Amino acid sequence: MNSISSRLYALLKRLASHESGQDLVEYALVVALIAFAATAGMRKVASGVNTAYSNISSQLISAM
């Protein structure tokens, strides 16, 4: 167990000292932000689609 934790510590230390690791974190944050925005946008779109189908349904029911 100690070997695994020491290897993990060495890996994290190496990533912290290299800029490529920092770039990777920045890209991950950008992807997370885009995913959050897409999720928030899809909820609004889904609500609009649901409202449109409800309106169509009520109009079809009243026409029959």
Token pair of 33 as six digits: 């932000």
- 55 band by pLDDT with thresholds 50, 70 and 90: very high
- How far apart CA 38 and CA 31 sit, in angstroms, is 10
pTM over 0.95: no
How high is the mean pLDDT of the chain?
84
- 19 band by pLDDT with thresholds 50, 70 and 90: low
- pLDDT above 60 for 47: yes
- How far apart CA 55 and CA 48 sit, in angstroms, is 11
Mark out the alpha helices in the chain (DSSP H runs).
2-17, 19-63
Give domain limits for the chain.
Answer: 19-63
Q: How far is CA 32 from CA 26, 46, 49, in A?
A: 10, 21, 25
3-class DSSP state of 31: helix
